[in-house]
Amino acid sequence: MATKKNSWPELNFADYKDTVFLLHQWIQVAGKVREKLSPWENHSWNVALYVDTQGLTTGPIPYENGVFEIKFDFTLHELKLRTSNGTRDHFPLGGQSVASFYEQLTEKLKYLGINVRINSTPVGMQQAIPFEKNTSRIPYLPNETKMLWKAMIQIQNVLNVFRSGFIGKQSPVQLFWTTFELSHGRFSGKTAPEYEGQIPHVSKKVLKEAFSHEFFEFGFSPGNELNPEPLFYTYCYPNHIQFGKSTVQPSEVLWDENLKRFQLPYRIIQSASNPSESLLHFLQSTYEAAANAGKWERKELEPGFSST
C-alpha cells in the first residue's frame, strides 16, 4: 500500500545558511521600501512581508500614482515589480550580491516612477554593512530557497486555522525582516510593562510600542548562526513564571530558560505522521499556558470557550 507523501519539506540550515543570509538582506531592502511609503500600523505591522503563491510579497504599497508590489518569485527565482498602472519589471535573483540587488531595485523603482529613499543600514544584525557596500559574492541556491518557501506555506496554512479560534486582537501571519522569522501574535487586551530589551539598530521608541500590550507570540525561524536549526517557538510578554512550568505538547518541546520561550525543532513536526495536527497541538497548548498564566479573559476572546 502506497503511503501518503509528506508535503512538508526537510530543512537543513547547513545547506542553506548562506542563502538565508542573502535573503535576509534582500527582504530588508524591500521591507524598508514598504516601511517608508506605507501608513504606520500598530506594532509595525506596516513593514512586514507575506507568504504567497509564488514566494514572498510586500503586498500593495501606496505611491502617488496608485499602488505597487515587490515580489520575490521563488518559482522563477526573480524579483518582480508591478504597479496598478500596468507597468512592471523584473530581474533575476541568481548572481546578485546585496549591493547589486539594492542597486537594481533602486533603479527599477525609479524607472517605474516610484521615488523613495531608504536607510541602507540593515536592522537587527551585529555586523550591519550598508547594502550598497556589501559586495560579497554569496551563492543563491534556488532549490533550498524553494524548500524553505514551501515549508512557510505549510506553516502559514496551520496558523490560519489557529487564527480562526480567536476573536480578540491578533496579528496577520507575517514575515518580519528584522529577524527573518514568520510570526503570529495574539493579544489579551491589557497593557504591558515597559519593554527594556534591545535589538541592534532598532529604536527604543519602536520597541516600546511593539511591546506595549500583553501578547502571546508564535515564531518560525529557519535557523541562524546562534541557533543553527530550523525551529518553532512561542513566548509571552510579560513573561509569567508559571508559563515556563506548564506542561505542553508534543513531548519533544523544550523550555529555553535564557530566551524564556518554548522551542520545538522543525524536524519533529516535519517527520510527524500528521505535521499540521502536531503543530496545532504545540500552538494551542502553549497558548493556553500563556493565557492561563496571564489570567486572560478567555471567555471573551475564544468562541465556545469553557473553563470546565
Collapsing DSSP to helix, strand or coil, 95 comes out as: coil
Q: Count CB atoms within 10 A of the CB of residue 254.
A: 12
As a whole number of angstroms, the distance between CA 193 and CA 208 comes to 9
As a whole number of angstroms, the distance between CA 202 and CA 90 comes to 30
Long-range contacts made by residues 71-80, C-beta under 8 angstroms, separation at least 24?
72/23, 72/26, 72/27, 72/30, 74/142, 74/145, 74/146, 74/149, 75/146, 77/140, 77/142, 77/145, 79/26, 79/104, 79/105
Q: Which three cell numbers stand for residue 5?
A: 507523501
Angle, alpha carbons 153-158-159 (nearest 5°): 95
Which residues, at least 6 apart from 88, have a Cβ–Cβ distance to it below 8 Å? Answer: 80, 81, 82, 112
Q: Which three cell numbers stand for residue 240?
A: 509569567
Q: Helical H runs in the chain?
A: 13-37, 98-111, 142-163, 204-210, 241-244, 266-270, 275-293, 298-301
As a whole number of angstroms, the distance between CA 258 and CA 239 comes to 12
The CA distances from residue 39 to 56, 61, 82, 88, 262, in Å, are 20, 9, 20, 23, 33
Taken in order 207, 212, 214, 217, is the CA torsion positive or negative? Answer: negative
Which pLDDT value is given to residue 1? 39
Residue of 84, 80, 28 lying closest to 202 (CA atoms) = 28
The architecture of the domain spanning 13-133 is 2-Layer Sandwich (3.30)
Domain borders along the chain are 13-133, 142-301
The position carrying cell 508534543 is 250
As a whole number of angstroms, the distance between CA 42 and CA 196 comes to 19
Which residues, at least 6 apart from 7, have a Cβ–Cβ distance to it below 8 Å? Answer: 150, 154
The CA distances from residue 14 to 7, 179, 197, 230, in Å, are 21, 18, 29, 10
As a whole number of angstroms, the distance between CA 308 and CA 80 comes to 52
Which pLDDT value is given to residue 4? 53
Per-residue pLDDT of the chain (308 residues; tens, 9 = 90+): 344 567 999 999 999 999 999 999 999 999 999 999 999 999 999 999 999 999 999 999 999 999 999 999 999 999 999 999 999 999 999 999 999 999 999 999 999 999 999 999 998 876 789 999 999 999 999 999 999 999 999 999 999 999 999 999 999 999 999 999 999 999 999 999 998 887 776 788 889 999 999 999 999 999 988 889 999 999 999 999 999 999 999 999 999 999 999 999 999 999 999 999 999 999 999 999 999 999 999 999 998 777 75
Q: Which three cell numbers stand for residue 158?
A: 496551520
Which pLDDT value is given to residue 204? 86
Element of type H or E holding 217: strand 213-221
Q: Which three cell numbers stand for residue 19?
A: 542563502
Q: Which three cell numbers stand for residue 44?
A: 509595525
